Structure formats: C-alpha cells, structure tokens
C-alpha cells in the first residue's frame, strides 16, 4: 500500500501536508485508492500541497470530484532555514490564510494592496 492510501485511515483531526514536490508521483496514480481517500477527506483530514503534488490533487478531482487545498508545503513554507542556519518564520499572511482554510474548509482571500502586475494591456497585431 502506498503512503497516500493511508490518508483514508487517518483521524479526522489530522492535516496532511506534502513535504516537497512529488516528482515521480504520477507513477503511483494507478495504485491510489481514490474513493477511500475522497470519503475520508469529506469529513476528515485536510490535505495540502502544491508544485508536483498537483498531479495528486487533479487525480483526486478527476476520479472523485473531491477538492483539497493547494497551499503551503512543509519544507519550503514551514521548514526553511535562513542563510545563517536559523529557522525562517512563516509569512504571516500565508500562515493566517492557511489556518483559515484548514479551520473553515474554505478560503476567502482579499488583497488590499494595489497589484500593478494585474493591469492588462491590450495588444493589437499590425
């Protein structure tokens, strides 16, 4: 049994966070017990990750319709070390929204600072 299938056996109070990207995770897809995991997630553990973990998220969505959190990963977002070897404190904005998403099983994110990169220019071909 691969480790991902054990999600279906976890206590509902657990949070499962990917440690890092899951390059090669696609090789495990045929052996994942999608329905068992989806049933557990409906009332139980939260599952979170991003990057190469997206293949698991999309597989779960495609096979069962279950949705999990695309968010921080353990090593990169919570376990990083600074150049001097000291732990890096998680970004307050990320931490607060992560906690809200886990508690509420939903996320409302509002950014009140202007984001200049969001201005869309219209280009025409000549």
- Set out the domains of the chain in order of their start, with CATH numbers: 3-118 (3.40.50.10740)
The one-character DSSP state at 96 is H
Average pLDDT, the chain: 83
Place of tokens 């984001």: 115
Neighbours of 117 (CB within 10 A): 6
Q: Provide, rounded to the nearest whole percent, the portion of the chain with pLDDT above 90.
A: 25
The confidence score (pLDDT) of residue 7 equals 92
Q: What is the pLDDT of residue 10?
A: 92
CB 8 within 8 A of CB 60: no
E-strand spans in the chain? Answer: 15-17, 46-49, 69-70
How large is the average pLDDT for residues 96-116? 79
CB-based contact 43:17 (threshold 8 Å): no
Taking the whole predicted model, whether its pTM rises above 0.95 is answered as no
The percent of residues in the chain predicted with pLDDT above 70, rounded, is 90
Measured distance CA(5)–CA(113) in Å, rounded: 41
Q: What is the CA radius of gyration of the chain?
A: 18
Task: Taking residues 87-102, report their average pLDDT.
Answer: 84
Q: Is the pLDDT of residue 121 over 70?
A: no
């Amino acid at each position: 049994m691969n480790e991902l299938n054990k999600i279906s056996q976890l206590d509902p109070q657990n949070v499962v966070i990917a440690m890092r990207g899951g390059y090669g995770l696609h090789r495990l897809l045929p052996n994942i017990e999608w329905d068992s995991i989806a049933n557990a997630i409906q009332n139980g553990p939260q599952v979170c990750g991003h990057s190469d973990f997206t293949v698991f998220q999309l597989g779960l969505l495609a096979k069962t319709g279950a949705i999990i959190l695309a968010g921080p990963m353990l090593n990169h977002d919570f376990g990083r070390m600074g150049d001097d070897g000291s732990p890096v404190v998680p970004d307050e904005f990320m931490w607060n929204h992560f906690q809200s998403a886990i508690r509420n099983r939903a996320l409302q994110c509002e950014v009140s600072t202007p984001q200049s990169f969001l201005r869309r220019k219209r280009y025409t071909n000549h």
